[in-house]
C-alpha cells in the first residue's frame, strides 16, 4: 500500500513537471570549444535523465561483474553448510537410534562438508563409540579438549571410557578436571565421589561431600551419615598405623556426625576402650542405644568390660536396657545375659515379653537353650529347635542395591561395590526342607511332629547349645498345648 502511494506521488510529480515545462519551454544554449548547442529546456532535461540512467545501468553491470565470482562462492558455501548441517542432524538421530553404519557415514559427510570441528567432533566420537572403535572415540574426545566450549563434553567421554576400561586412576584425573570446570554438575560430583571412595581418598571425599551437601545434591541426613562413614574409615586407617589419639578424635567426630549410626558408635567405643577411656566409651554406647538399640552395641558392651563376670555383665545389660525399654533387642540382650548368669526366671520373663507371634529364629533358639539348660534335653527344647529351623531369620546387614547380606557392616558392599548401601533389615524368611529337618531334629516329614526316638542334642559347653539359640513359648509350656498342637 505504501509503495503504491509513493509511486503515485512520483508519477504526479513527473506529470506536474512535464506540464510546467510545456507551459514554460525556455531555451538552453551551450558553447564549448567552438561548438554551439541550442535546445529547449525540456529536451535538455530528458537528455540529462537518459545519460544518468545509462550511467547507473553501466555501474550496476560493472558491480555485478566485479562481485559475481565471490557471490557464486558464497552460494556454493551456503549450500555446503546446509547439506553439512542436514548430515549433522541426521547423524545425531542415527546415533540416538543406534544405527552404527548410518551414523558413521553421516559423521564423515558432516566432517567433510562443515569446516567447523566443534560441530562434528561430538557426532564423530559418538559414532565411533557406537561402532565399538574406542581408540577413534578417544582421539575425538581428546581433540575436544582443545576447544573451551567442548572441553567438558570431551572430559565426560574420556571419563566414561576410562571407567568402562577399569582405569580408575585415569578416570579420577578426568573427574577432577571436569569438577574444576563445572563443580555444580550433579553427575560429576557423584562420579568423583564414587571414584575417591573407591581409591580410599577419604579426606578428599569428605571435602567433596561437604560441597555436595551445601549445593543440595545430597540430602542432609544422608550427608551426615556418609560423613560419619568417611570419618570412621579415616579413624580405622589411623588406628591401623598406631595413631590412636588421632583415631579417637576421628571416631568421636564420626559418632557426633550421626549419633544413631551404629557402626560409628561401635568403632568409637572400641577405640576408646583401647585407649583406657572405658567410661567415655560407655557414654557413647548409651547414647547410641537411646537412638537405636542394636545387637552390635550389646556385644561391644561385653568387649568394653571383658573382665566382668557373668553377673556383672547381666547388671550392665539391665542398666543399658533401661535407657530404651520395650525394644526387642534389649529383651534379647537381657535374655542372653540372664542365661549366662544362671537367672532362668529372668531369661524366661524377658523372652515372654518379646512375644510369641512369628518369633525370629534367634528367639526360638534362646527358648531352646533355656529349656535345655533349665530342664535338660527334652521335648520342649527339641520343638523349639525345630521351630527355629522354620522361623524367619532376624535382621542382618544387607545391601540395598544387590540384597546381598554380610556378617558385619562395611562402607562398601563386597558384592556390588556400592557405597553406603548396607542396611540393618530383616532377611527373607527361610523354611527348612522337611527332609533336612527330619535329619537334623528327628522329625518325620509326614507327621511334622517329633519322633519317638530321642534326638541327640549335641555336646554342651559352658551351659550353651552348639545349635543356634531360640524363643517363643509361655512359661510352663514344655510340650503340646491344651489343643494338642505343638508351638
C-alpha closest to that of 266 among 300, 229, 305, 302: 300
pLDDT tier for residue 481 given thresholds of 50, 70 and 90: very low
Measured in whole angstroms, the distance separating CA 137 from the mean position of its chain's CA atoms is 26
Q: With 90 as the cut, is the pLDDT of residue 320 above it?
A: yes
pLDDT tier for residue 360 given thresholds of 50, 70 and 90: confident
CB 188 within 8 A of CB 182: yes
C-alpha closest to that of 109 among 80, 136, 134: 80
Report, as an integer, the average pLDDT of 220-234: 94
Which class for 462: exposed (0-12), middle (13-18), buried (19 or more C-beta within 10 A)?
exposed
Measured from the Cβ of residue 68, the count of other Cβ atoms closer than 10 Å reads: 10
For residues 186 and 417, give the distance between their C-alpha atoms in angstroms, rounded to a whole number: 20
Element containing residue 465 per DSSP (H, E): strand 464-465
Which residue ranges make up each domain of the chain?
359-393+429-487
Query: CA dihedral defined by 196, 198, 200, 202, rounded to 10 degrees?
Result: 50
Residue that wins the pLDDT comparison between 86 and 382:
382
Q: With 60 as the cut, is the pLDDT of residue 487 above it?
A: no
CB 228 within 8 A of CB 257: yes
For residues 402 and 416, give the distance between their C-alpha atoms in angstroms, rounded to a whole number: 7
pLDDT tier for residue 103 given thresholds of 50, 70 and 90: low
Report, as an integer, the average pLDDT of 166-191: 92
Element containing residue 460 per DSSP (H, E): strand 460-461
pLDDT at residue 392 in the model: 86
Min mean pLDDT across 8-17, 66-75, 345-354, 407-416 is at 66-75
Q: What is the grid cell recorded at 113?
A: 562438508
DSSP 22-42: HHS--EEEEEETTEEEEEEHH
Choose from 55-64, 94-103, 324-333, 430-439 the range with maximum mean pLDDT: 324-333
pLDDT tier for residue 478 given thresholds of 50, 70 and 90: very low
For residues 95 and 264, give the distance between their C-alpha atoms in angstroms, rounded to a whole number: 48
CB 310 within 8 A of CB 302: no
pLDDT at residue 202 in the model: 93
pLDDT tier for residue 431 given thresholds of 50, 70 and 90: very low
pLDDT tier for residue 357 given thresholds of 50, 70 and 90: low
CB 178 within 8 A of CB 188: yes
Q: What is the grid cell recorded at 61?
A: 553491470
For residues 142 and 154, give the distance between their C-alpha atoms in angstroms, rounded to a whole number: 6
For residues 130 and 156, give the distance between their C-alpha atoms in angstroms, rounded to a whole number: 16
% of the chain beyond a pLDDT of 90: 41
Q: With 50 as the cut, is the pLDDT of residue 238 above it?
A: yes
Against a cut of 0.85, is the pTM above it? no
Choose from 134-143, 251-260, 422-431 the range with maximum mean pLDDT: 251-260
DSSP 30-94: EEETTEEEEEEHHHHHHHHHHHHHHHHHHHHHHHHHHHHHHHHHHHHHHHHHHHHHHHHHHHHHH
Q: What is the 3-state secondary structure (H, E, C) of 398-442?
A: EECCCCCEECCCCCECCCCCCECCEEEEECCCCCCCHHHHHHHHC
Query: CA dihedral defined by 471, 472, 475, 481, rounded to 10 degrees?
Result: -130
Choose from 44-58, 121-135, 209-223 the range with maximum mean pLDDT: 209-223
Angle between helices 328-341 and 344-354 (to 10 degrees): 160
Residue that wins the pLDDT comparison between 242 and 20:
242
Measured from the Cβ of residue 192, the count of other Cβ atoms closer than 10 Å reads: 25
Report, as an integer, the average pLDDT of 389-407: 89
Min mean pLDDT across 182-196, 285-299, 422-436 is at 422-436
CB 368 within 8 A of CB 348: no
For residues 408 and 468, give the distance between their C-alpha atoms in angstroms, rounded to a whole number: 18
Element containing residue 334 per DSSP (H, E): helix 328-341
pLDDT at residue 345 in the model: 93
Kindly state the greatest CA–CA separation across the chain: 156
Amino acid at each position: 500500500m505504501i509503495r503504491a502511494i509513493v509511486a503515485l506521488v512520483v508519477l504526479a510529480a513527473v506529470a506536474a513537471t512535464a506540464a510546467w515545462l510545456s507551459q514554460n519551454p525556455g531555451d538552453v544554449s551551450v558553447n564549448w570549444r567552438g561548438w554551439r548547442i541550442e535546445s529547449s529546456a525540456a529536451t535538455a532535461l530528458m537528455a540529462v535523465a537518459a545519460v544518468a540512467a545509462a550511467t547507473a545501468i553501466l555501474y550496476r553491470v560493472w558491480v555485478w561483474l566485479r562481485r559475481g565470482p565471490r557471490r557464486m562462492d558464497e552460494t556454493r558455501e551456503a549450500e555446503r553448510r546446509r547439506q553439512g548441517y542436514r548430515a549433522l542432524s541426521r547423524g545425531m538421530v542415527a546415533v540416538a537410534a543406534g544405527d552404527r553404519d548410518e551414523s558413521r557415514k553421516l559423521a564423515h559427510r558432516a566432517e567433510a562438508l562443515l569446516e567447523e570441528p566443534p560441530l562434528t567432533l561430538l557426532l564423530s566420537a559418538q559414532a565411533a563409540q557406537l561402532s565399538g572403535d574406542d581408540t577413534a572415540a578417544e582421539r575425538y574426545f581428546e581433540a575436544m579438549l582443545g576447544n573451551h566450549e567442548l572441553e567438558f563434553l570431551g572430559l565426560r567421554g574420556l571419563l566414561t571410557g576410562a571407567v568402562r576400561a577399569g582405569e580408575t586412576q585415569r578416570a579420577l584425573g578426568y573427574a577432577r578436571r571436569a569438577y574444576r570446570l563445572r563443580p555444580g554438575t550433579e553427575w560429576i560430583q557423584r562420579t568423583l565421589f564414587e571414584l575417591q571412595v573407591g581409591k580410599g581418598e577419604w579426606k578428599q571425599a569428605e571435602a567433596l561431600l561437604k560441597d555436595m551437601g551445601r549445593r543440595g545434591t545430597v540430602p542432609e541426613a544422608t550427608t551426615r551419615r556418609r560423613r560419619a562413614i568417611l570419618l570412621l574409615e579415616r579413624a580405622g586407617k589411623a588406628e591401623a598405623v598406631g595413631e590412636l589419639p588421632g583415631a579417637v578424635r576421628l571416631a568421636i567426630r564420626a559418632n557426633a556426625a550421626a549419633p544413631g549410626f551404629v557402626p560409628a558408635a561401635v568403632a568409637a567405643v572400641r577405640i576408646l576402650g583401647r585407649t583406657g577411656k572405658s567410661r567415655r566409651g560407655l557414654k557413647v554406647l548409651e547414647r547410641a542405644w537411646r537412638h537405636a538399640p542394636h545387637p552390635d552395641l550389646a556385644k561391644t558392651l561385653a568387649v568394653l568390660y571383658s573382665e566382668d563376670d557373668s553377673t556383672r555383665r547381666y547388671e550392665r545389660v539391665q542398666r543399658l536396657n533401661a535407657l530404651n525399654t520395650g525394644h526387642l533387642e534389649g529383651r534379647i540382650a537381657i535374655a542372653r545375659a540372664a542365661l549366662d548368669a544362671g537367672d532362668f526366671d529372668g531369661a524366661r520373663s524377658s523372652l515372654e515379653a518379646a512375644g510369641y507371634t512369628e518369633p525370629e529364629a534367634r528367639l526360638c533358639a534362646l527358648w531352646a537353650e533355656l529349656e535345655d539348660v533349665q530342664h535338660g534335653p527334652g521335648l520342649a527344647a527339641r520343638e523349639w529347635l525345630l521351630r527355629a529351623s522354620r522361623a524367619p531369620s532376624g535382621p542382618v546387614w544387607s545391601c540395598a542395591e544387590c540384597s546381598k547380606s554380610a556378617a558385619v557392616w562395611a562402607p562398601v558392599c563386597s558384592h556390588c561395590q556400592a557405597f553406603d548401601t548396607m542396611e540393618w533389615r530383616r532377611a527373607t524368611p527361610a523354611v527348612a526342607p522337611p527332609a533336612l529337618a527330619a535329619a537334623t531334629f528327628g522329625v518325620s516329614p509326614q507327621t511334622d511332629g517329633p519322633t519317638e526316638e530321642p534326638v541327640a542334642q549335641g555336646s554342651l559347653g559352658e551351659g550353651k547349645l552348639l545349635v543356634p539359640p531360640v524363643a517363643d513359648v509361655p512359661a510352663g509350656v514344655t510340650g503340646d498345648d491344651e489343643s494338642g498342637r505343638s508351638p
